[in-house]
Amino acid sequence: MTLNTVAVTVDLVLLTIRSSELHVLLIRRAIPPFEGHWALPGGFVLPDEDLDDAAARELHEEAGLRPGHFEQLATYGTPGRDPRGRVITVAYLALLPDQPVPVAGSDAAAASWLPVTPGPALAFDHARILADGLERASAKLEYTPLATAFCPPEFTIGQVREVYEIVWGTRLDPANFHRKVTGVPGFLIPTGGRSAGTGGRPAALYRAGPATRLHPAILREHAA
Amino acid sequence: MTLNTVAVTVDLVLLTIRSSELHVLLIRRAIPPFEGHWALPGGFVLPDEDLDDAAARELHEEAGLRPGHFEQLATYGTPGRDPRGRVITVAYLALLPDQPVPVAGSDAAAASWLPVTPGPALAFDHARILADGLERASAKLEYTPLATAFCPPEFTIGQVREVYEIVWGTRLDPANFHRKVTGVPGFLIPTGGRSAGTGGRPAALYRAGPATRLHPAILREHAA
DNA sequence: TCAAAAGTGTTTAGAGTACACCCATGG
DNA sequence: CCATGGGTGTACTCTAAACACTTTTGA
């Protein structure tokens, strides 16, 4: 790779919730630059490949599972961000339910779910990309049904509430939260089933509804 | 430009409000492909240029004026979107007050402000990019002080209200709107001046405040 | 004097909050 | 029986919508 040649990569900010903490999928780099550092998973876009397809391919290679949500995040192209040459990176944000992770034989690198806080030092400008992804996810919880992307196909309202509490770092009143989310048209659809074995009254099960935006929104307390 | 080589461009969605209508800056292409079609202004990223800098440079070349707001929109890289080869386009969104436009000698092309609706057929996938920009601007009016980006340095609350009404295509109650926006901390700062010559009671003048998000938000009526 | 735009007051309805209270399960 | 989480009821507060009304200019 020489100067005046531009390489395009896709990098993934892959988030999930494990044991009541937000985790991000990171890869320990086996080769320079940043050998031994943690980095976001990603790779080069193939010559005749769509950006979204490239990101989906990387997602499948690295995590091997279907995301609950998948969107383009932003593009990073500051000269010098990669010491090997001019690299433009299109970052994607994906949210997944906590599944047993079949992180299989990818590019000779160990992939792990790590808690986002405090989080290790990251290679390249990946700390900034991760921060942008976290902010995007946090903001979108308010006015989109993004929280269900962290949940399995069927889930309880308590699980949804836990997503909000973990991502926002706040406590929410269970009673009022219940009324609020069940009052948003198209957000949650009752399946008729009930949860079991949680050491309390069984909760009704829901699946994600067709809504793409929440009205009314689930608003966060914003520090003034 | 051959296959397997990727070119990176920046394109601009430049919006302003003229005579109570939302306008976008378009360029009539003088050369193939899409000769004679309207297109978003843009150009290639220089070998050692940051993406944001490239967009700012294009903005200055095409419009020659300072935007009230400027942000990256999204990146488009579907193979075949440009018949000349593989082109990745990083789109930027910029909002400007209605200034006398010194669209000077740019790339042998005529630049014009055109109403966004109905709007002409656009080259490449620029219709989609424009639509994405409009949606972004429309959504961000709710929870950011973006509306002031369409206004001159000093403006009245009536002007701000007109921005909301035009972008959203709705009517807003002047009395309630006044109370709402003046009640958002950091949104508007009174300059002490007064407007004149509008055929009514002079309005107090304001400038944009330091807030980056509006709390409480200026919420739109969302059709259910 | 009239029209037009700015801004304030007031009433009323709806949404959000706090929290008491009952329900259904596991241990 | 008790602990735990699910869910409803209810009173209170706060915001927002609707609209009457006053203010201040240009014509």
Q: What is the pLDDT along chain A (224 residues), one digit of tens a residue?
A: 444 589 999 999 999 999 999 999 999 998 889 999 999 999 999 999 999 999 999 999 887 778 999 999 999 999 999 999 999 999 999 999 987 665 555 554 578 999 998 889 999 999 999 999 999 999 999 989 999 999 999 999 999 999 999 999 999 999 999 999 999 999 999 999 898 877 889 999 999 999 998 988 898 876 54
Packing angle, helices B157-168 and B174-182, rounded to 10: 110
D26 C1': nearest CA residue: B199
Task: Extract the tokens encoding A153.
Answer: 């196909």
Phi, psi angles (nearest 5°) of residue B38? -85, 145
A161-172 residues labelled b (16+ CB within 10 A) or e (exposed): bbbbeebeeeeb
CA A59 to each of CA A90, A125, A140, A200, B145: distance values in angstroms, whole numbers, following the listed order: 14, 20, 21, 37, 36
Q: Is the C-beta atom of A222 closer than 7 angstroms to strand C?
A: no
CA angle B94, B97, B101 (to 5 degrees): 90
Residue B152 identity (one-letter amino acid):
P
CB-CB neighbors (< 8 A) of B75 in chain A: 51, 72, 75, 90
* Range 54-73 of B in CB contact (< 8 A) with A: 72
**How close B51 comes to chain A (CA, Å)?**
6
Residues 6+ apart with CB under 8 A from A47: B3, B4, B86
Q: B63 falls in which pLDDT band (50, 70, 90)?
A: confident
Residue B43, classed as helix, strand or coil, is: strand
Give pTM, 2 decimals: 0.93
A89/B202 Cα distance (integer angstroms): 51
CB A146 within 8 A of CB A70: no
CB A156 within 8 A of CB A202: no
Residue A192, classed as helix, strand or coil, is: strand
